[in-house]
Structure 1
Amino acid sequence: MDLKELNNRYEEIIHSNRPEEIKTNQLSMLMTYMEGAFSIPMQRNEEWERKNKKIIALYRKISRSRQFE
C-alpha cells in the first residue's frame, strides 16, 4: 500500500460505526503494517524522520487517533 491508500484506510476506519476498541485495534494493525513496509525505527530517529516526513506524519496521525482507557 502507498501513503494515499494507507490514508484512505485510516479515514475508513475513523469514520466507521465500529466500536472504539475495534477502531483502535485496526489502527494499531495499520501502524504495524507501516512499521514493516517503511522500516520505521523502533526508537525515534531524527535523520530518518527528516528523510520520511510524509510517512512519519501519517504514522503519528494514526497513533494519536487511537483511544485507550
Structure 2
Amino acid sequence: MTHEELEAFRNRFNEINESKEPVRTNRLSILMTDMEQTYNIPNFYSAAFNYHNPQVIKLYRQVSYARFFEGVK
C-alpha cells in the first residue's frame, strides 16, 4: 500500500460524493470493489487486517456508510 494509492482513492471518493443519486451510490459501490481488489480486503471482519491497515479500512468504511439505499429495510 502506498500513500499515493490511498490518496487517489480518497480523491475519487470526494469526487463521487458530489454526484447525484442513484449514480453516486453506484459509483461508491464500484469504488469499494476497486479497494477490495487493490488491498485484498477480506469479505468478513478480520481484526488482523484492520490492525495492519487502519487507514485503508477507515476509508473503506466511510465509502460504505456514504451509500444510500432508498427503500431498503
5+ residue gaps, structure 2: none
Equivalent position amino acid for 2:64 in 1: S
Helix, strand or coil at the partner of 2:31:
helix
- Output the aligned Cα RMSD: 1.1
Structure 1 residues 11-40: Cα deviation after superposition (integer angstroms, max 9, x where no partner): 001123xx3111000000000000010000
Aligned length: 67
Fraction of identical pairs, as percent: 40
Q: Could you tell me the TM-score, scaled by structure 2's length?
A: 0.87
Q: TM-score, normalised by structure 1?
A: 0.92
User: In the aligned structure 1, how far is the partner of 2:28 from the partner of 2:36?
Assistant: 12
Moved over 2 A (4+): none
If asked which structure has higher relative contact order (CA below 8 Å, sep 6+), I would say: 1
The alignment partner of 1:43 has SS state of coil
Query: Quick one: which of 4, 9, 12 aligns to 1:9?
Result: 12
Aligned 1:1-69 pairs, distance under 5 A: 2-16=5-19, 19-69=20-70
